Amino acid sequence: MALLIKTDIDRGDAWAEALAANYPELKVYNWPYKGDPAAIDYALVWQPPEGELKRFPNLKAIFSVGAGIDHLASDPDLPEGVPVVRMVEPGLTAGMSEYVTLAVLNHHRFMLDYAAQRRAKVWEELLQLPAEARQVGVLGLGVLGRDALEKLKPFGFRLAGWSRSPKSITGVTCFHGEGGFAEFLAETDILVCLLPLTPQTEGVLNTETFAKLPAGSAVINVGRGGHLVEDDLLEALDSGQISGATLDVFQEEPLPEDHPFWEHPRVFMTPHIASMTVPETAVRAVVANIQRLEAGEALQHVVDMKRGY
């Protein structure tokens, strides 16, 4: 059995070593692969060039290296009938919850204001608010959204979440669907986007959405750049409707050099690193899934390509 692997950042031999340790019988080939395409059973990929996966006639499953599969869904030549599996693994989940917690606390504790004061050499104490004075609202109550909310619980924020289908989560006020969107936003002071990018969620962070938040709310986008209408955010920052933003993902990555976000004093940004798949733990999830399929059982975390996530 053979698996072809293409990851985004060079982790040296970490993937190959983890695969060898967890599944010694599996032959692992790195991208680009020059051998017989018919010999490849599985692909574990991040952003493969469009049309490339179609070259492998015997693929049994395509594993996304990341949680998001928009990089695969956008391929018009994605092989039909081959299941696409999104990444669900504890390292990726833990990293995202760390980032979301950090970003929420940054906004809650006025760190953008203190950064501005520092640049201006101003020594001024801003009034500290108790956590329960703020509601953190998470768009997307999937694997990552739910874990982030769990990790935020001990701080004492009021917590809310929004998903497509109804949910019940202890300590979290849950809203769903278009009908629940305005009510969810009305009390949300720190908005976190952890949605998958689909035709339905594209551009969800826009002027209309910002206007439904309490004035001075903060926005954290760790979903995809396509969720945010960037000009709408710039306008909302200028007007003060949004007091600050933490952005990890952008319409164009890397962010163009002349983009206003680079210099914006009310934007904290990172280069799409909110979380990274950890080869050592991810491999266990992938191997367990391959073994499930080889034993005639159903794969876990298969994407519904019609729904887009």
Distances (CA, A) of 233 to 13, 208, 238, 255, 292: 40, 11, 8, 15, 45
Asked if 67 interacts with ligand GLV (CB under 6 A), we say yes
CB of 264 to ligand GLV, least distance (A): 22
Q: Which is nearer to ligand NAP, 42 or 162 (CB)?
A: 162
| Per-residue exposure over 247-285, b if at least 16 CB sit within 10 Å of its own CB, e if not | bbbbeeeebeeeeebeebebbbbeebebbbbbbeebbbb
Residue 197 partner contact from ligand GLV, ligand NAP, none using kind-dependent CB cut-offs of 5 to 8 Å: ligand NAP
Tokens found for residue 49: 């060039």
The answer to whether 134 is a known catalytic residue is no
For the chain, what percentages of helix, strand and coil (3-state, to nearest 5) are there?
35, 20, 45
The answer to whether 224 is a known catalytic residue is yes
Under a CB-based contact definition with an 8 Å cutoff, are residues 107 and 190 in contact?
Answer: yes
For the CA atoms of 75, 79, 85, 87, what is the dihedral angle to 10 degrees?
-40
Transcribe 136-162 into DSSP letters. EEEE--SHHHHHHHHHHGGGT-EEEEE
Q: Which is nearer to ligand GLV, 112 or 282 (CB)?
A: 282
Asked if 226 interacts with ligand GLV (CB under 6 A), we say no
**Residue of 196, 226, 244, 279 interacting with ligand NAP (CB under 6 A):** 196
Which of positions 69-98 make contact with ligand NAP (CB under 6 A)?
Answer: 92, 96
Q: Which is nearer to ligand NAP, 140 or 244 (CB)?
A: 140
Asked if 66 interacts with ligand GLV (CB under 6 A), we say yes
Which of positions 229-258 make contact with ligand GLV (CB under 6 A)?
Answer: none
Asked if 140 interacts with ligand GLV (CB under 6 A), we say no
Which of positions 260-289 make contact with ligand GLV (CB under 6 A)?
Answer: 277
CB-based closest residue to ligand GLV? 66
**Residue of 71, 107, 224, 264 interacting with ligand NAP (CB under 6 A):** 224
Cα gap 55→66, rounded to integer Å: 22
Chain contacts with ligand GLV (rule: CB under 6 A): 66-68, 87, 92, 277
Q: What residues act catalytically?
A: 224, 272
